[in-house]
Amino acid sequence: MTYFEIIKTLLKEDRSIRRFDTSRPIMPETLESLVELTRYCASGRNLQPLRYRIVCDPDERRSLFPLLAWAGYLPDWDGPEESERPAAYLVQCLDTTLAANCLCDDGLQLQAITLAARALGIGSCILKAFDPKKVADALAIDPGYQPRYVLALGYPVEHVEIEDMKDGDIKYYRTPDAVHHVPKRPLSDLLI
Ligand SMILES: Cc1cc2nc3c(=O)[nH]c(=O)nc-3n(C[C@H](O)[C@H](O)[C@H](O)COP(=O)(O)O)c2cc1C
């Protein structure tokens, strides 16, 4: 495969995963190696103001989970049941002593991490629906570090398919076979 084909394949396979095999741990060293990749990302003003808190410990995972909101378009689903919860999390934080914002560094780094995780067979879901203060308190994160995103990680037990969007309907949905479907706009909609 060419680099282009590898990147396209990884992007297509890098779906948001919300159901994991909780019994399969992810080692802290693996999480560190994912964070290490962010060193090579572009950074506005080259400030590099993002930090990561690794969450593997079962007690910390139990504290963090109820603070997160899952799959807003699936109103009848409260998030993964106990045996399908994330095996680990990365809490991406802004070092507010360096900057009040991080331009788009956060998204660039999350994409780098999720693609690399996918290459290792690890699924992930970027989460923004949480109260940063509650997350910081639950994990005793220093007040100078502001949680920006939580990345949930684990080995996937759910199947996700992308499909062409119909009639502008952006909502993902699940079919009775538990397959999660994600509509994507066609290229013709993206070009202006
Ligand atoms: C900035 C951002 C914030 C998100 N926040 C949440 C969230 O709080 N909860 C959740 O379940 N999914 C969240 N997601 C995942 C999106 O719902 C998901 O990316 C979208 O449905 C498209 O699916 P895909 O990632 O498989 O392409 C977030 C994604 C992004 C990029």
Q: Does residue 155 have its Cβ closer than 6 Å to ligand 1?
A: no
CA of residue 14 to ligand 1 center, whole Å: 12
Domain shared by 167 and 84, yes or no: no
Q: Which residues contact 107 (CB under 8 A, 6 or more apart)?
A: none
Residue nearest to atom 6 of ligand 1 (CA): 127
pLDDT in tens, 139-181: 999 999 999 999 999 999 999 999 999 999 999 999 999 999 9
Q: Does residue 172 have its Cβ closer than 6 Å to ligand 1?
A: yes
CA of residue 142 to ligand 1 center, whole Å: 26
Q: Indicate the pairing of strand 160-164 with strand 123-127.
A: unpaired
* Percent of the chain residues past pLDDT 90, beyond the cut: 100
Question: How many other β-carbons are positioned within 10 Å of the β-carbon of residue 16?
Answer: 18
pLDDT in tens, 8-18: 999 999 999 99
Question: How many other β-carbons are positioned within 10 Å of the β-carbon of residue 184?
Answer: 13
Domain shared by 151 and 165, yes or no: no
Task: Count the domains in the chain.
Answer: 2
Residue nearest to atom 20 of ligand 1 (CA): 16
Sign of CA dihedral 162, 165, 171, 177: negative
pLDDT of residue 9: 97
Domain shared by 79 and 173, yes or no: no
- Across 29-46, average pLDDT: 98
Q: How far apart are CA 35 and CA 50, in angstroms?
A: 10
**Which residues span the domain enclosing 50?**
3-158
Q: Listing from the earlier edge strand, what are the strands of the sheet with 173-174? A: 160-164, 180-184, 173-174
Q: Does residue 113 have its Cβ closer than 6 Å to ligand 1?
A: no
The CATH number of whichever domain residue 28 belongs to comes to 3.40.109.10
Quick one: pLDDT band at residue 90, thresholds 50, 70, 90? very high
Domain shared by 92 and 152, yes or no: yes
pTM above 0.85, yes or no: yes
pLDDT of residue 10: 97
Domain shared by 128 and 179, yes or no: no
Q: Does residue 54 have its Cβ closer than 6 Å to ligand 1?
A: no
Q: How far apart are CA 187 and CA 190, in angstroms?
A: 5
Residue nearest to atom 19 of ligand 1 (CA): 16
Distances (CA, A) of 116 to 6, 34, 68, 111, 139: 12, 7, 23, 8, 25
